Chains A and B, each alone.
Chain A
Amino acid sequence: MASLVDKTAVAAAPGLRGLPFTLVLIAIGVAIFAIGRWYNNSYAFFMAYVVAQYIVLGTAWNILGGYTGYVNFGVTAFFAIGAYSTVVLHKLIPAMPLPVMILIGGSLAGLVGIGTGYLTLRLRGVFFSIATLALAVVVQTLITNWDFVGGARGAYVLRPRVAPLIGGEYVQYLFLLMLGMCVIVLATARAIERSALGYGFAAIRDDEAAAEASGVPTLRLKLIATGLSGGFMGMAGAPLPFYVTYLDPASGFSLNYAVNAIAMPLIGGTGSWLGPVIGAVLVGGLQEYLRVTISSAVNVLVAGVLMVTFVILAPQGIVGLFQKRKR
């Protein structure tokens, strides 16, 4: 945990742009993984995987929600599309390497995002939000009625005992892949923030009519954001079947994923790539602590209560609190 916080401190230093930033992220990722290998505790890997997964999910949500202001409540739909595409691919071609499955799952989820966006993003933002809420229900209905992936009964996926390439337990491999996705999604988010794309997103968020009038191609930008955001969510979901080994619609579409993915950026701060990371590390860590010490019912409540508290009392999140102090 501490090393993840260090990472943000290092990367926030001025003068790092693009490639150096990515290299620093990779170096931090390698360092975290090396520490994990040295510590060699499988519980630590299982827990770190969850936090890394939420960094990806939270950042993915923030690319659309935080940067353009369009709220996606259907996180579970995209996440589950990734997870279930792995179930299907694993059944069809058992030998397919997991990174390929992640790419396919991510592409599928991204396409669904673009499709939903194309139908609803021309209207006011709330209609998109409502459509995503309904999308989660509809994808769940489809999966529940699809016998090939186990239907309502769920599907079992055998986790290989030994990790490919790196050796050791398979969860280490899952964690390494999730770390890699963290690097990709964070580098993408930061690159967007500093590019013309990011300024276009911000213009949409602040005043869409004015942006449209000034020649910003709003629909195209919104579709890019929705596609990227949905795609990253699908990627985050793709390794899930191997992580849980048993996947049924009720757990794959658990509202917890959606609440966490939305709560973490809002708690950390939606303005920059740093916010979702802080939110995921703090809330993810806190939830894991509460799950172990109190109960699993209380730990899911935490994200919801914290989210409501933060949106009312600290709308700019933790990052905003610190920025205010600096001024």
Chain B
Amino acid sequence: MDGSANLLINAIVSGLLLGGFYAAVSVGIAISFGLLDIVNIAHPAFILLGSYAAFVGNTVFGIDPILSSVIALPVFYLLGMLSYQVYYVAFERRDDQSLRGLSFFFGLLFITEVVLVLTFGVDYRTVQAPYIGPSISLGLFDLPLRLLVPFLVAMVMVVGLQIFLSRTFIGRAVQAVAQDQGALRLMAADPVKIKRIAFGLSIATAALAGACLIIIQPVEPSIGREYIGRVFAIVVLGGLGSFPGMVIAAMTLGIAESLTATFFGPSWAPAVAFGILLITLAVRPSGILGR
């Protein structure tokens, strides 16, 4: 078989797997930005916190990175509820989301980064797990477990959240908040409480996504910034708040980046997301599966 065709197939497969992981990174933004209309640009910082939680669980206690992030889930959920409460009191209630609300999250992003630098230093950190390293060979292409495991975790998380949002009472209430807050209030439900729960969930996804991140690549405090362009490109391209659209967009970006990295060099990959974001905003701001 021709070498470049082989390269192409492998690039597409790893792009698909990478795209699955990107869906895990973006699902929190799909909830906060897509459904709640809270532009949480600090989300990548929470993902890095998740990575370092997995790192601490793995190196200090010797627990599997994904298991340690599952243990950390409640903490992240509470952290998210707390952040939303501050955001609501200081900005949403004053109707001052755009200038100061955005700056608030930007400040959180920066503070988290600096605190992580002060705590863990600027060295790259990795975790140990049996599935980091080996890969399954399927003749035509290889499936690196390092990418496959995060992909599976991501899919379980996204599908689980989709079922939660469409089947449970609270999940439907979250979707109702996205559509019409006033109507929800007339139904005697408290939109602030629902949003607090939903934002807590969106931050909780960052714990798992963070564990996936540190499995896929070594982590240092400033790489969160690379993900800002990615997650927003994915969520906007997917059509704010639509989970299936988000997954499609994530895989598209994953493949596009993987092809760019294979044929032009990995240092060009971060620019792909920005290109996709700009084109989407300029041509079809409602995304591929937009409402």
Contact = CB atoms under 8 A, between A and B. Distances in A.
A130 B106 CA distance: 11
Contacts of A71: 98-99, 102-103
Interface stretch (A175-183, A218-226, A304-312): A304-312
B107 A308 contact: yes
Given A137-B226, A266-B103, A255 B110 contact: yes
A66 B98 CA distance: 11
A120 interface: yes
Interface in A23-77: 65-66, 69, 71, 73
B274 A135 contact: yes
**Most B CB within 10 A of own CB, among A136, A137, A152:** A137
Interface string A290-327: 00000001001101110110011001000000000000
B267 A145 contact: yes
A306 B121 CA distance: 23
B102 A129 contact: yes
Nearest to A316: B100
B285 A123 contact: yes
**Most A CB within 10 A of own CB, among B39, B107, B118:** B107
B103 A133 contact: no
A289 interface: no
A123 B274 contact: no
Nearest to A305: B111
Nearest to B117: A297
A138 B229 contact: yes
Given A65-B99, A127-B236, A259-B110, A311 B104 contact: yes
A125 interface: yes
Contacts of A144: 267
B282 A119 contact: yes
Nearest to B279: A119
B278 A145 contact: no
Interface residues of B, number: 45
Contact of B39 (A129, A152, A255, A315): A129
B41 interface: yes
B118 A297 contact: yes
B233 interface: yes
Interface residues of A, number: 43
B82 interface: no
B277 interface: yes
A54 to B, nearest CB: 16
A203 B118 CA distance: 43
Interface string B224-264: 01101100110010000000000000000000000000000
B229 A315 contact: no
A304 B271 contact: no
Nearest to B278: A119
B268 A145 contact: yes
B285 A311 contact: no
B108 A308 contact: yes
B232 A134 contact: yes
Q: Per DSSP, are chain B's interface residues mostly helix, strand or loop, or mixed?
A: helix
Nearest to A302: B114
A245 interface: no
A300 B114 contact: yes
Contacts of B91: 311
B83 to A, nearest CB: 11
A131 B281 contact: yes
A316 to B, nearest CB: 10
B192 interface: no
A85 interface: no
Given A142-B271, A307-B103, A307-B107, A301 B114 contact: yes
A259 B267 contact: no
A23 B103 CA distance: 34
A262 interface: yes
B39 A126 contact: yes
Contacts of B281: 119-120, 123, 127, 131
Given A129-B39, A133-B229, A255-B225, A262 B106 contact: yes
A263 interface: yes
Contacts of B278: 119-120, 131, 134
A304 B236 contact: no
A311 B274 contact: no
A279 to B, nearest CB: 13
B273 interface: yes
B270 A312 contact: no
**Most A CB within 10 A of own CB, among B102, B111, B222, B268:** B102
A117 to B, nearest CB: 12
A86 interface: no
A119 B277 CA distance: 11
A308 B91 CA distance: 12
Given A133-B229, A301-B118, 5 more contacts: A71-B98, A134-B228, A141-B267, A144-B267, A263-B107
21 contacts: A66-B99, A69-B99, A71-B103, A73-B41, A134-B278, A137-B271, A137-B273, A138-B274, A141-B268, A145-B265, A255-B110, A255-B113, A259-B106, A266-B100, A297-B118, A301-B118, A304-B107, A305-B111, A308-B107, A308-B108, A315-B100
Interface of B: 39, 41, 86, 90-91, 94, 96, 98-104, 106-108, 110-111, 113-115, 117-118, 222, 225-226, 228-229, 232-233, 236, 265, 267-268, 270-271, 273-275, 277-278, 281-282, 285
Interface pairs A-B: 4 shortest CB-CB: A134-B229, A308-B107, A138-B274, A311-B100
